[in-house]
Structures are given as C-alpha cells and as structure tokens.
Chain A
Amino acid sequence: MFSCNGEKKAKIKTTDFSLTELNLLTNYPKDVLYMDYTGAMHGFVIPSASQTADGRFDFNFTVKNESETPKKLFYKIYYQNESYKFPDFDENDETKQNQFAHENFYGSWEDTDTYFKPCGEIAPGEEKQITDNFRIVGNPRNEDKYFFEGENDRWKRNPRVGDYSFMIVIIDEEGLNKVPENIKNIKLAENEMFASPFFYFLHGEGKSFDNCIVSFTDKFINIKASPDLGKGVYIDDYKFKNSEEPGYSDYFNCNCNNDEKLNEEAPVGQFIHYIDESSKFNNVPVISDFFDGSFTQEEYNWLRAFYKTEDRIAVLPQVAKKPCETIYSDTIDRKIVLKNPKCEYGEWKKQNVGMITRNGFTYGKFTVKAKLTELLNEDFVWNGITNAIWLIYQGGRGQNETGWNLRRPCKKKGYMKTYWGGREDERVERVAYSEIDFEILKTVPYCPSEKFPPVYDNYEARTNKVNAWNTQMPDDVDKDKKNIAVCCTNWDMACWEPKNFSAGCHTVTHNGKIYYAHRWEDCYRAVTTKHMAPDDDLFGSEYYYFQIDWQPDKIIWRIGPEKNKLYEVGYIDNTISAIPDNQMLLIITQEFHNTNWWPGSPYLQENIPFPAKDYVGEVYEITIE
C-alpha cells in the first residue's frame, strides 16, 4: 500500500482514525540523491531547486476517520539521518533517550515554528488525502549557535550523508495537547540538550498515545556528496599573509581566484598550512632530481655524513606565497592538480601544497581517488614528502568566529586546550580542534614496542673510509624498504573519557584484525595506527583509493586499487579514543614534515635534498557517502 522505499514501522491505525496511504518522494523517483553544490556555501538543501520541480520532496498521505464523530487531526513530519547516528534510546534502558541522541541529525519543516499542521476536519468515515512537501536543510533545529549576526548559517550544520528515515505523526487535538513543546518545536532545548522526536514517538511517552499514528519509514532516500573538482579553486585572501604585496595575484586565472563567483561556486580552496617553529630543520644545501636515478641510498648516506650544521640551510617548510601557483582545477578532466614546486639555488624551499574542501560534513565515508606523488624512488629512498588525506574541524566566518563547532564535552580530564601547546597545556571541557588523518610517509611502526626504535649503525664522516659513512639499514627497516607507512591518526586532544584510554601501544581488534594503536604519553593529543604498504601500489599506479570511514563511535581507514577492492588499514574506536562529533573539512596535501615528529624514521628530512622538479599530485574524485 505504501510506496515509500523503506520498511514501515510503528502504528498506522488507532481506534478513531487510520493512515491508509503514504506516498513519499512523489516527485523524485530515485532512491539516491547527490547533494547539489550550487549555493552550497550557504548550506546544502536536499533536494535543490534543480533536482525537483519545486525544490522539495513531495509526499502525500491519506487519513481516514474511523470514528462516528468528525475529527480534527494534525500531522507533523520528521526526518532523521540513520547512517550516522547514535541509537535513539539508551542501550540499557529503552525508555530513556540515549545520552547522545540529541546530536543526531533530524529535522522537520524548516520553520521550526510550524508545529503540527492541521489536516482539517474529517467527517466520520471520510478519507482525506493531504499533500505536502519538505526538504532537508542544514541546522534543521535552527539552533542559535549557528547564527551569525542574525543570519542562520545553515552550512555550519550541513545535512549528513547516508540513509534518511521519515516519520509522520498524526494526532488528534487531545493528543496534541499532550505532546511536549520541545517535540512540537525541535528548536527548543535545555542546556543544548534536545529531546529527540524519534525517541519520543518510537520509544518514549509518545509511543503510548491512544489517538496518535506514528508512521516510520527507515530509509526513504540515500544522500551522497561528490564535489565537482573542475569547478575551480577559491582563494581566501586572509589565509595569505602577503595578500597586499605586489605580485600576489600573478597566478590568478578564471578558475582559481578570489572573486565572488568562485566564492559561491568553487567546492575547493587552496590549503595553506600552519607552520610553527618546531618544523624547522637544517637542510643539506643540495637540489636533486629525485626520480632521475641519481639519488641513491649511498648519496643520502653521503649527504647525511658529510654536511655538518655549518654547511646547511636552516629552513621551515614553506607555504605558497602566490595563490594558484601550485594548485589548479582542471575543467576538462574535472580534477585538482597539486605540485610541490621545484627550487633553484638561492631559492631553496620545501613547500607544502594542498587543497581543502569548502563544505563541511559530520561523519561519512570520505573516499578519495587520487594519484599523489610517489614517495620512494628507484633505490627506495624517500623524497621527504608526506601525502596526507585528512579531515579537520571547520572554522567560522573569517578568522575569529569560534564556538559554534565545539566537540562534545570531555567529562574526564577535559581536552588539551590547543593543538600546538605542550604537555603542560591547560585542559578544558570543550574544544573545536578535531583532526582525522591519513599520513603516508616513510617511517617505521612504533608498535609493538619492542620493535621501536630501530637501531641504526653509527656513521662517521671519513673521506678515506667508505664503509664509515655508508652504513646499512637494520634488517627490520630494510625488509620494509619498498613500503611506506600508512599512518591513521585520530586527534582526540588527550581526552581520557574512553574506557581503554592509555599511552603506549594498545591493541584494538576489528573484523578479526589486530591493530596497534600508539599514543606517546597520556597528554599526547593523538592516537595512531600504522600499516606498511608498497609505495608502488599507492602512488606508482594510475590512481589509488583512500577512504576515511568516520562514524559516531569509530573510524575505519581503508585503501585499495578500486573502490570495490578497499581493505582496512586502520581502526580506532571510542573505547580508546574520543571520536570527533563536530563538522569537518577534507584536506589533501603533499607536505614536508620534520621527521622529528616521526622518531625512528630511516630518512631524515634535513638530509633529503630540495626538489629539482615539481612533485605533482592529482585528485580525481571525492565522494562522501
């Protein structure tokens, strides 16, 4: 009878009236919808004006008065993201709302002041069809914290991807009076704690109302997102310190600039790294074509041994000074191209490059199809690059608007206040900082702990003894010479709330596979698992897939040659690490790390020459689902 996609649940008949028909998506025949990025900088709307005729999901339902007296009935619809949510009820007591259910993404009509709509008076025995519509928008509860200077910044709580359920509640006047205000008006909250209408009507008090029909469809649409990478790169001037200097806009072009058109349309921006003093290193003053066969293990050893501090150049990794010079959006092949620029004598640089998406999401399977630069050359020496695919918390308008995108409170010890602070950093109940990383580079596994650190032979700078400077790698490291480390990290800001929170190596099992999660110390802000994989596979092939599957209670990292051949390489769940719950952006970078951050690495950044040629990376496709 019902034409909707999902299984219907809950009650559809009372003694007085019944729901005889419910037709969802009457104007959208498919069960999958890709978010429309047009105007998405202001928040996604599902569907958009170009996806259905009226820019809404139309539905109708028929209700029949089964009683012998006229009935005034009322209805309200709710939708909820089912793929990325906490259960509506407490796992130990179904009659209680789950402590995190208020975080779930649910909504109703955009105007939260529209409570229950009247069906009109229905005569005894009469069937009445009601036609209506709705759309899924960001900040569906119209929460004040997402407003800025009077504007509802719906983009700050964008709709989640995945499956959506639909719930219609039809109730008579008497029942309506019993429905609490915060269910009628989902905007209402106490101390940011919202009452979930899905819990209320499916498990809570609303479940036992006599004259109330609750029809629940667990999946009426599946939402995905995939930005068009050929739509341009927007430049945020404020990210560039030198935006007022002459020559700043030398590389601007029609598909990469700071104009209003791209501000509206470009799904991608140029990412500019934050570089702090700890990134400093004294680099060998050498420029090499890393991939022409001349840079060998022996050459690395020679540079390492014979260039003392006084011969080296103190540098920090650099960032682009001229926007659009190292990134472009290919309008034909619909891809983003990144390049760490080559350098010349006198202009030594190891410049980080990257792109960042401009539309934030909370949770989702972020899949990236890319060919990032190779990391190892023919002699299996590392070029110093870390290919990173990562998520980071989204900032507010301009540089200074904060507070709207905080993680949920950490109830044990609190979070370390800042990303960059040391171990003595202040602890606070809430922070905005969140980060989930794929960092792929040449380093060693830290776990199990007996494998770390690898013991490297001492070397000496002796021109008359080759074997003194040309030492060999330890066997443990050499066996992985063709491999690079796929490091999967969750920045939990050292919140001690997870029940198995610990420092050192901690095993965590998923799908029968044991992962070693490593945290340096109790106050260390991140936990990492590592997987060794061939560089040739990940960056030597035409392309490779990388997926961060960010769920409310766990994060799974997968890679693979094809989207349907992904395999797990990392796993962290909320038993060992606080999983972020705020809105994040996707970043893809090729960056030069200080290897002091990666103790035990067989190649140190300072001994790796500056690039004589660009290191090019291409991003072909991003999907969030």
Chain B
Amino acid sequence: MTKEIKKIKSGRTFLIIFSIIFIVITLFIFFIGKKLDTPPKVSAVEDIQVVNDFKYFIDFETDKYLGPNSLLTSTKALSGKQCGLIDKNGKYGPAVIIPVPTNDTSEISDIIVKFWLNPSTPGIDVAMAFSIVDQNNNQVHWEGYPVKGNSFAIDNWYSFTCRFKYPKEFINTTYSLKLYLMSNNKDYTPVYIDDVSVSLKENADNGSPRSKLIDFEESNDKRISSKYAKSGYYSTYAKGENGFSESVIIPFKDLDISNINSVSLSFNYLSETSDLNAVFVVSVCDSTSKDLLWQGIDLSKADFKEKVWETANGSILIPEEIAKPENSLKIYLWNRNENQVFLDDVYIVIKENSKTNDSVQPAFDLIGQKKFQPGANRPPYNSYVVNLQKADAESVVSLNKIFTRKSRILTGKFDESTGKDQIFYEESGKYNILYLENGSVVSKEVSFHPAISKDSRLFADKEFLFSINPVDGLICVHKYQANQNKFIETGRIKCSGVDKVIAVTANPDNSFSVFENDGNILTYALKSGSYAQVSGNKPVNPYQGNLKFLKADFFGINKEDVLLIYLEKSQDKYVLLTYNAGIKGWALSDKYKGNSVQSYDQLDFASDYSVIDYDKTGEKELLQLNKTKRFDLRIINFDIMTYNILFNVEFKGFPKKQNPKYYEVSKIICGDFSGDGCSEIIIFQDNISKVDWLTQKTEMYSFSK
C-alpha cells in the first residue's frame, strides 16, 4: 500500500514536473518566437515613403536646403514673405543644396526643377545651374539652363521649368545636388527667385502649398474651349449677359493658410470684341457653398486689345475669421453683356502677414502691385464732389427749421404736378410742405381732411402719405390736393400691431403693403369697398426689430424694389424684394442673386441710407452715411451679384472751413428738389459741444455737375 501510494505520488510529481517544464518550454519558445517575429517598425515605412517621394519645395522662408550666405530679401515674394535674390553683390543667387537621398539608381531619373523669376528690368540673362558636389564640396557635374529674354514685364513673376539628366554614377548618398541661379548680365540687375520645386522623379506635380496654377487643361466642365488658350489647349469662357465661366473651387485645406493675409491673383483674359464688360470674381465660401466674402475685379475699364490675351491682377484680403480649412476659395468669370470672354492660367498665391508683425495692411499696396486694381467695396474709393447750392437767408432759415423739430421728415412727390420732390414735416402741431421754387425754399402749411390724430405716425411713398393712429390701429391713406392745400383721405386699412410698422408702400396694382420691423410684410387690397389683407410673408428675420427699409428703382427698369437692411444674429444682412402682382406679395428680386453677401465695407444696419439719382439715369442709387469710423458718405448701386460702392462723396463750396463732414451731428435728406432729375442732399450740421469755427447750419448740395 505504501509503495503503491508512493508510486502514485511519484507519478503525480513527475506529471506535475513534466507539465511545468512543458509549459515553461512552450512559453520560452513562444516568447523567443514572438521576439524573433517582430514586424518592421513603423518608422521604416515612413523612411520608404519619404525616399519614394523625392520632391522638395524651397520657398526661401527658412534656410532649409539653402546654402550658406544665401541672399534673401523681403522686398517681394511670390508666396510667403521673402524670396531669393541675385544682384550686384554677386554673380550667383542662393544655392539650394539637397543631399542625394538614395543609393538606388532606379529611384532617380531626371531632375525636374520648376522656379519663378521676377526681373527688375525687361531683360533677364541668367541660368539655372544644376551641379553635383561630393562630400568635400568638389563639383563633379554641372549643367545649366539658360533663361534669356528682353521683353519681360518688370516686377512680374514668371514660371520656368527645366529638366536635367542625373548621371547614374552620382546616385549615391555621399553626393549632394546643388541648384543655383547665376547671372550672365554684367550689370547684375536684380532678379528675384522664389518657390523652387525640385523633383527627382517623373511627373513632378509638386506645387507650392501657397500657390496654385489653374490652366483648365484637365477640366470636364462644359464651358471649356479650345478656340483660344493662353497655355496648353483649353481655356474656360463666360458667354452672354450674366454668363459665368467654370467655377474653380480650391479648398483652403489644400493651401497653407496658417499665416494668410491675402490672396493675390493673376489671370489672363481674352475678349473677342471691344465691348468687354466682365468681372473676375473671387469669393470665399463655406462648406455649403454660401459666399462669405465676395470680390469682383472689374474688367470693363481695362486697357486691352481684342482677341489678345491680357493679364490682370488683383488681391483679396482674407479676414482671420474666414481663414478656416473648411472654407474654400472660388473663382470664376462673370460676363455682363453679349460678348464672350475667355479665361486661362489663373495664378493664386497666398500672401502672408508681414514679418514685422504689422498685421494691419494698407487698403492697397502700390509697392507690391504696381498697377491699381480696385477691389469690390474696398477702399480706396474714387470721390464724387457735390456742390453747395447758394441759398438766400430766408431759405436757410426754412431749411434749418425742418431739422430743429422732432417730427418725422418725409420726402415724396406729393404735388405730382411739380415734378419735384417735396419735404413734408410737422412744426408745433402744424403740417408743412417745403419745396424749391425759383431757387428759393418755400414752405406752406397744409392740413389733413379729415384731421388726423396728433399722435399719428406718418409714412410716405410716391404721392401717398400714410398716417397710422396708434390708438385705433388704422392706417389712413392720403393724397395731396394742391388746389385745396390738403391731404385728403382716400382709404383706410385696419391693421394689427401698427407699432411695428416701419414702412407702407403703394403697389403697382393699387394694393398697399405694410412692412413691420419683425420682417413681416402684409399686403392689403381693396375688396368690396374696404382694404383686406390678401397676403403675408416674412422673408427676413431681423433681431429685435433692427430693420431698415428703402424703396427705389435700383436696377433702372421702371420698377421699384424694396431693400431691407437688417441685423440677424449680430450680422449685417440685406435683401432685395420685388412686388409680384400675381401673388400680391413681395418675393426675392430676380434682378439680384447675391443675397446678403457682404464685402469688406458692408451694407450695415448702423448706417443711414437715402435713395438718390446722382447721374440722372433713372437708375437709383443708395447714399450711405456711416459715422462709425469717420464721416463716410458713399454712393452705392446694385448689379445682379452685389452692391457696388461707387464713390465717396466730398463737399465743395462750403463757407470757410465748415466742411459738413467735420460736424458732430449730421442729418441728411435726399431728393430731386430742383426737379432736374438729379438728386440734392440737404444736410443739417451741428455740434454737441461748442466749436467756434463750426456753426450750426443746413445746406443743400447738388450732385449735378
């Protein structure tokens, strides 16, 4: 028994020992095997990727890949802030030195070098030199690519691409390849170099992260033509009135916008006829293609030859808040007449904030860009001079009166027979109409029949005057009867919420629309002898009633549109509405597509607006008075895409030093008071604090030349 037990015990012990040994050996083999079976490190994969790339981009912003004593300058740059330079200080420009990255002769074929040059004279006589140097800096191979010509435009960037054969015997990591510009010009006139791309492979497409060339060669758009091409075989075109070329959208994520200040553009256009009227549009849009910033480069005033490719330039400042990777840059050509205009070879270059950390850039840099290209709704603006209309002392007193009372001042053609605008105002409970007669201001008292409440709020449109009684909520429609010197009531509209009314319009179909400050528009038409609401809509949603209303024939089509300028979520917005008799309501104007797109200078809610006709065309303009930054009085018109700030208004003829723009308080009324078809400005000027040399006054200035 004991032996049996012992045998059994020793068998168990053996089994346990055997099992332990087995497990230990298995684990040992497992770990050894695991150790021996470690997969390649990720870094090795990276190495292979880097080696396979063999593309280098030298933007001269840092000294990476640059040889010692490389001459750099920040006086100009294709992209970024600085570039290389060759000048009188030496025959050679900055050297690009790249160690040969591989020993594998199958990895490197030809060297393809793309670079940009900017000459300071019409002549360039340089060579791009390619050399190979050994570890002791001995040159073992040399080849040159000459760039020579006498008709370059000074201070323009030109792109060159050259190919060098790379001798197989030097494909060894002990060598470095060296690229440098050398001057053959004895005068060593400065030549600037930037954005050098070097590829050791075929099919080099190693563009700069700060520049793009769009040549429309790979486009699938329908608006591509081979009739003309600045380079390659194709260009895009915009044909017919309001025709658009292919839109090219470049996501910001494809560009280096880390320190972006602006985008500089160079593009080539060709007009088949002499009546060029096109706009090169650059906009920044969000991921839903909604324009956040819009700018047009107007070519209608360009100096060009028919059927010849011309180059134009422009730039667009990119505010920090829209320089986001999710946004995109969009470019296209917008044609505005029956002509056909071609577009090709658009260069886009990211310009960065200056090295001096001077983040504020001037409105226009005539040093960087030799030729001025006005930006849409960006200063500097041209000026338009309005001249003081001389007035007798009595007229001056009369004009002053209308502003020194607190009543609402309305303009309209109340007495249609005169063909002039008149001013309606209240003074001490009495109503007056003021108008110009033989150059003098005449004021006459008028009355309402039936009389209106003293608390009535008044609005005007065309020959109509509307009074709103806040108590009974009635809107009364009045027309002036000159022979009776009275405003006769011609209708009544029962309306709820009259305290929100900001305007009443007389529509072409004899209906009336009431505009409320919350964005509601209610239209009333005569039904069975009384006015009843026939439609209502709310095209805008202003914040806390911040809505401004203007009505005029902004497009010169004998039809008045309504411009609403409002605040929505703290953003300035605007919309143009047109009256649709079919639905008896107001809808977005079909003459205007750029809803609420704001440019650098905005149609802001804070400004005061008036309607004018400064050039007697019948097409009305907007006069914007903004005193946020300074006294800015600007003439603005609209086209189908945007508003256009045409001029800054300057005053002329004022007495002594009393320029209206100096005053602390300014009030403006506009209208065609003289009846010549051209608007006048009546401007009241006063100060909050006493300024001896600026006395209170009201003057009339005319847009008439």
A residues with CB within 8 A of B:
241-242, 244-245, 277, 280, 282, 285-287, 294, 296, 298-299, 302, 305-316, 345-348, 399-400, 461, 463-467, 470
Q: How far is the CA of A321 from the CA of B318 in the complex (A)?
A: 33
Set A277, A305, A312, A467: member contacting B691, Cβ < 8 A = A467
Known contacts A244-B150, A277-B75, A346-B374, A315 near B120 by CB under 8 Å:
no
Q: Mark B148-181, 1 if CB is under 8 A from A, else 0.
A: 0011001000000000000000000000000000
Q: Mark B71-110, 1 if CB is under 8 A from A, else 0.
A: 0000100000000000000000000000000000000000
Q: How far is the CA of A467 from the CA of B465 in the complex (A)?
A: 42
Cβ contacts under 8 Å, A244 to chain B: 121-123, 150-151
Identify the closest chain B residue to A297 (Cβ).
B657
**Interface contact B657-A467, CB-CB below 8 Å:** no
Other than the given A311-B629, A312-B380, 20 more pairs (CB < 8 A) read: A241-B120, A244-B123, A244-B151, A245-B122, A245-B154, A277-B75, A282-B362, A287-B383, A305-B630, A308-B629, A309-B360, A310-B362, A310-B363, A312-B363, A314-B362, A345-B380, A348-B380, A465-B689, A466-B663, A466-B691
Identify the closest chain B residue to A285 (Cβ).
B380
**Interface contact B630-A466, CB-CB below 8 Å:** no
CB proximity of B384 to chain A, nearest CB, Å: 11
Chosen A-B contacts, 6 in total, with CB atoms closer than 8 Å, are: A302-B662, A308-B360, A311-B379, A312-B363, A314-B365, A465-B688
Set B122, B187, B366, B372: member contacting A399, Cβ < 8 A = B187
Known contacts A308-B360, A311-B380, A463-B627, A294 near B367 by CB under 8 Å:
no
**Interface contact B154-A242, CB-CB below 8 Å:** yes
Q: How far is the CA of A190 from the CA of B368 in the complex (A)?
A: 53
Report the tally of A-B residue pairs with Cβ distances under 8 A.
Answer: 110
**Interface contact B360-A345, CB-CB below 8 Å:** no
Q: How far is the CA of A625 from the CA of B630 in the complex (A)?
A: 56
Whether a CB of chain A sits under 8 angstroms from the CB of B661 is yes
B373-405 contacts to A (CB < 8 Å): 374, 379-383
**Interface contact B664-A464, CB-CB below 8 Å:** yes
Cβ contacts under 8 Å, B150 to chain A: 244
B659-705 contacts to A (CB < 8 Å): 659, 661-665, 687-689, 691, 693-694
**Interface contact B687-A242, CB-CB below 8 Å:** no
Identify the closest chain A residue to B381 (Cβ).
A285
Whether a CB of chain A sits under 8 angstroms from the CB of B9 is no
Cβ contacts under 8 Å, B659 to chain A: 298-299, 302
Cβ contacts under 8 Å, B382 to chain A: 345-346
CB proximity of A202 to chain B, nearest CB, Å: 48
Whether a CB of chain A sits under 8 angstroms from the CB of B252 is no
Whether a CB of chain A sits under 8 angstroms from the CB of B652 is yes
Q: How far is the CA of A314 from the CA of B628 in the complex (A)?
A: 24
Q: How far is the CA of A298 from the CA of B374 in the complex (A)?
A: 29
Q: Mark B635-670, 1 if CB is under 8 A from A, else 0.
A: 000000000000000001000010101111100000
Set A282, A286, A305, A463: member contacting B664, Cβ < 8 A = A463
Whether a CB of chain A sits under 8 angstroms from the CB of B145 is no
CB proximity of B311 to chain A, nearest CB, Å: 15
Q: How far is the CA of A282 from the CA of B366 in the complex (A)?
A: 10
Q: Which 7 A-B pairs have the closest CB atoms?
A: A285-B380, A306-B630, A314-B362, A314-B365, A345-B382, A346-B372, A309-B360
CB proximity of A380 to chain B, nearest CB, Å: 13
Whether a CB of chain A sits under 8 angstroms from the CB of B10 is no
Cβ contacts under 8 Å, A345 to chain B: 380, 382-383
CB proximity of B133 to chain A, nearest CB, Å: 31
Set A287, A294, A465: member contacting B652, Cβ < 8 A = A294
Identify the closest chain A residue to B122 (Cβ).
A244
Q: How far is the CA of A287 from the CA of B648 in the complex (A)?
A: 12
Cβ contacts under 8 Å, B631 to chain A: 306, 463
Q: How far is the CA of A299 from the CA of B75 in the complex (A)?
A: 33
Cβ contacts under 8 Å, B120 to chain A: 241
Q: How far is the CA of A399 from the CA of B364 in the complex (A)?
A: 34
Cβ contacts under 8 Å, A348 to chain B: 366, 372, 380
B47-83 contacts to A (CB < 8 Å): 75
Q: Which residue of B123, B362, B662 has the most chain A CB atoms within 10 A of its CB atom?
A: B362
**Interface contact A309-B75, CB-CB below 8 Å:** no
Cβ contacts under 8 Å, A285 to chain B: 363-364, 379-381
Whether a CB of chain A sits under 8 angstroms from the CB of B530 is no
CB proximity of A471 to chain B, nearest CB, Å: 13
Cβ contacts under 8 Å, B629 to chain A: 306, 308, 311, 461, 463
Q: How far is the CA of A311 from the CA of B362 in the complex (A)?
A: 6
Cβ contacts under 8 Å, A296 to chain B: 657
Whether a CB of chain A sits under 8 angstroms from the CB of B231 is no
CB proximity of B607 to chain A, nearest CB, Å: 13
**Interface contact A242-B122, CB-CB below 8 Å:** yes
Known contacts A242-B122, A298-B657, A399-B187, A463 near B630 by CB under 8 Å:
yes
**Interface contact B689-A313, CB-CB below 8 Å:** no
**Interface contact B121-A466, CB-CB below 8 Å:** no
Whether a CB of chain A sits under 8 angstroms from the CB of B258 is no
Cβ contacts under 8 Å, B580 to chain A: none
Whether a CB of chain A sits under 8 angstroms from the CB of B361 is yes
Cβ contacts under 8 Å, A310 to chain B: 360-363, 379
CB proximity of A139 to chain B, nearest CB, Å: 27
Q: How far is the CA of A588 from the CA of B630 in the complex (A)?
A: 40
Cβ contacts under 8 Å, A461 to chain B: 629-630
Known contacts A308-B360, A346-B372, A399-B187, A298 near B75 by CB under 8 Å:
no
Identify the closest chain B residue to A462 (Cβ).
B664
Cβ contacts under 8 Å, A241 to chain B: 120-121, 154
Identify the closest chain B residue to A302 (Cβ).
B662
Q: How far is the CA of A307 from the CA of B630 in the complex (A)?
A: 8
Known contacts A285-B379, A463-B631, A313 near B664 by CB under 8 Å:
no
Cβ contacts under 8 Å, A242 to chain B: 122, 154
**Interface contact B662-A313, CB-CB below 8 Å:** no
Q: How far is the CA of A400 from the CA of B150 in the complex (A)?
A: 21
Cβ contacts under 8 Å, B372 to chain A: 346-348
Q: How far is the CA of A315 from the CA of B366 in the complex (A)?
A: 5
Cβ contacts under 8 Å, A302 to chain B: 630, 659, 661-662
Q: How far is the CA of A345 from the CA of B380 in the complex (A)?
A: 9
Cβ contacts under 8 Å, B689 to chain A: 465-467
Identify the closest chain B residue to A244 (Cβ).
B122
Set A245, A282, A298, A399: member contacting B662, Cβ < 8 A = A298
Q: Mark B115-159, 1 if CB is under 8 A from A, else 0.
A: 000001111000000000000000000000000001100100000
Q: How far is the CA of A467 from the CA of B690 in the complex (A)?
A: 9
Q: Which residue of B75, B383, B628 has the most chain A CB atoms within 10 A of its CB atom?
A: B383
CB proximity of A79 to chain B, nearest CB, Å: 41
Cβ contacts under 8 Å, A294 to chain B: 652
Q: How far is the CA of A463 from the CA of B662 in the complex (A)?
A: 8
Identify the closest chain B residue to A276 (Cβ).
B75
CB proximity of B576 to chain A, nearest CB, Å: 28
**Interface contact B154-A313, CB-CB below 8 Å:** no
Cβ contacts under 8 Å, A399 to chain B: 187
Cβ contacts under 8 Å, A280 to chain B: 367
Cβ contacts under 8 Å, B363 to chain A: 285, 310-313
Cβ contacts under 8 Å, B365 to chain A: 313-314
Cβ contacts under 8 Å, B664 to chain A: 463-466
Q: How far is the CA of A316 from the CA of B369 in the complex (A)?
A: 12
CB proximity of A418 to chain B, nearest CB, Å: 12
Q: How far is the CA of A311 from the CA of B629 in the complex (A)?
A: 11
Cβ contacts under 8 Å, A311 to chain B: 362-363, 379-380, 629
CB proximity of B521 to chain A, nearest CB, Å: 34
Q: Which residue of B365, B652, B663 has the most chain A CB atoms within 10 A of its CB atom?
A: B365
CB proximity of B661 to chain A, nearest CB, Å: 7
Identify the closest chain A residue to B382 (Cβ).
A345
B524-565 contacts to A (CB < 8 Å): none
Cβ contacts under 8 Å, B627 to chain A: 463-464
Q: How far is the CA of A461 from the CA of B631 in the complex (A)?
A: 11
Cβ contacts under 8 Å, A400 to chain B: 187
Q: How far is the CA of A315 from the CA of B372 in the complex (A)?
A: 11
Known contacts A285-B379, A345-B382, A466-B691, A314 near B123 by CB under 8 Å:
no
